[in-house]
Structure 1
Amino acid sequence: MDNKQLQEIKDRLEVLPVLEHRMENLRGKVSVAKANVNTLLHKFEAESLDVENIKKDSLANSLRKLLGKYEGKVNKETQEMFAAKMEYDRATENVSVLCKEESELNVRLSELYELKHTVEDELAKREESIKNNISAESYKTYTEIEQEHEFLSGQLVEAEEAIRAGNNVLITAGNAMEHLNKAEDLATLDVWLDGGICTHKAKYNHIEEAQRNFNILNSQVKNFESELQDVNLQASYLSSEIDSTTRAVDFWFDNIFTDLKVRDRIRSDAESLRNLIDKINKTLRILETNRKELKKNLSDNESKKADLISSIEI
């Protein structure tokens, strides 16, 4: 294995400790999230709800059934039941997001473990040669370069993970915005042309899909904020942008189900979402600038290391 191949593999392995730590934390989150879902199911059972129907029925269908049963006037008990439905949906979406992340991380870790075993013997042989020459100036220089490389690589990994998390938020936010725009168009049709039951049903289906994406955003934004802390960037303001949009239950129980009010709420949610997307994009630009600077510093570091290694006879 030549020096270039060895360095390329070592660079890839720099991410391993970070991902192992992340996997440990992620498994804890999955466990807590699944326990939360079970707790909510028990809560439904305590209220004599049909658990299987609650798990399968959509938010829009639940809303329509309630409106039909109570003619638009929802009492306190039914409010609590519907709030529990929304809470359960949010919890299950959170588990789905976390499990997908765990699966993707497992694949990445497996690939890295294979690389680690491949280079262990080669690294041991080369490092032993350097250790045997501890009194040489090359040993001191090598150690300093390795320490700098380890620091820069760790910073680059954290920056790239933050960028990955931010892009995930943008994808979900884009999906939510698409459904909000469609829901607003249908709500406007209801206001001016009385679109009828089909339009009304389609509108609430898009509202439901937007709400589902907001539930996912809840988890993704928290993850992004956590990643930003790892690179010394503060962005606690991000959560506030989706706070109101993840509490639609406050609106749906207003007992005044007018088309104008629905349209106004859709527009309000869309505005909050636009603000979130704008702030995510600004933060990603900062992260990208940092990543480019780190890559330049790493390139300089690798050049110094390559020159040193090439001068050592094994």
Structure 2
Amino acid sequence: MSRLQELNEARTAATHVIARIDNAIASLDSASSWGFFDLLGGGVFSSFIKREKIKDANSDIRGLSASLQVLNKELEDVHMHLPQEISNTMTDTMFDIWFDNIFTDVRVQGEIKESLRKLKDFRMSVIEIIAQLDAEIRALT
């Protein structure tokens, strides 16, 4: 397979990863909004909705893992590597919904914000890889 074809495949895989990251960010942004409402005393309903949004984000992150495996394989073909991994630390659904209290709400909101920051940082890393791939593709065409 030609170098140009390998680079194009890696770029395609990277754009799929960006789309997955964007979905996870959107889910976490929504969870964060509901979390803020929950902090203001939203009660069980807002905790439940927030947890549904976190569940959506976790699903997006699991889907992202599959996309990252494809991207890693394609990057190995062109001798490039991803700089970091994404961690998933959002738990405590039962405590957050059934034992709804300000302490749990504040901690969960902090976890959401930290996960958002990590996803956005990771997104920038993938964008940098796409830029490197694009530069090599331009050099070959």
> What TM bracket, shorter-length normalisation?
0.7 to 0.9
Distance in structure 1 (CA, Å) of the matches to 2:95 and 2:49: 20
1:227 to 74, 77, 81: 74
The equivalent residue for 1:289 is: 135
Deviation string 1:20-60 (CA, Å, 9 cap, x unpaired) is xxxxxxxxxxxxxxxxxxxxxxxxxxxxxxxxxxxxxxxxx
Q: TM-score, normalised by structure 1?
A: 0.41
Q: Which runs of 5+ in 1 are unaligned?
A: 1-17, 19-153, 296-314
How far is the alpha carbon of 1:256 from its aligned partner?
Answer: 5.5
The one-letter code matched in structure 2 to 1:205 is E
Distance in structure 2 (CA, Å) of the matches to 1:165 and 1:294: 19
How far is the alpha carbon of 1:294 from its aligned partner?
Answer: 1.1
1:173-252 mapped onto 2 (5 Å cutoff) = 173-191=21-39, 193-235=40-82, 237-238=83-84, 240=85, 242=86, 244-245=87-88, 247-248=89-90, 251-252=91-92
Distance in structure 2 (CA, Å) of the matches to 1:190 and 1:232: 46
Q: TM-score, normalised by structure 2?
A: 0.88
Instruction: Please say if 1:161 is aligned against 2:9.
Output: yes
The equivalent residue for 2:113 is: 267
Higher helix fraction (1 or 2): 1
Secondary structure, aligned partner of 2:14: helix
RMSD: 1.7
Task: Give the % identical residues.
Answer: 23
Higher CA-based Rg: 1
How far is the alpha carbon of 1:180 from its aligned partner?
Answer: 0.4
Distance in structure 1 (CA, Å) of the matches to 2:18 and 2:27: 14
Structure 1 runs of 4+ with >3 Å offset = none
Determine which structure has greater relative contact order: mean sequence separation of CA pairs < 8 Å that are 6+ residues apart, divided by chain length. 2
How far is the alpha carbon of 1:196 from its aligned partner?
Answer: 2.5
Deviation string 1:161-210 (CA, Å, 9 cap, x unpaired) is 0000000000010011011011111111111x211332222111111110
How far is the alpha carbon of 1:227 from its aligned partner?
Answer: 0.7
* Greater alpha carbon shift after TM alignment, 226-235 vs 212-221: 226-235
Deviation string 1:57-78 (CA, Å, 9 cap, x unpaired) is xxxxxxxxxxxxxxxxxxxxxx
How far is the alpha carbon of 1:234 from its aligned partner?
Answer: 2.4
How far is the alpha carbon of 1:215 from its aligned partner?
Answer: 0.2
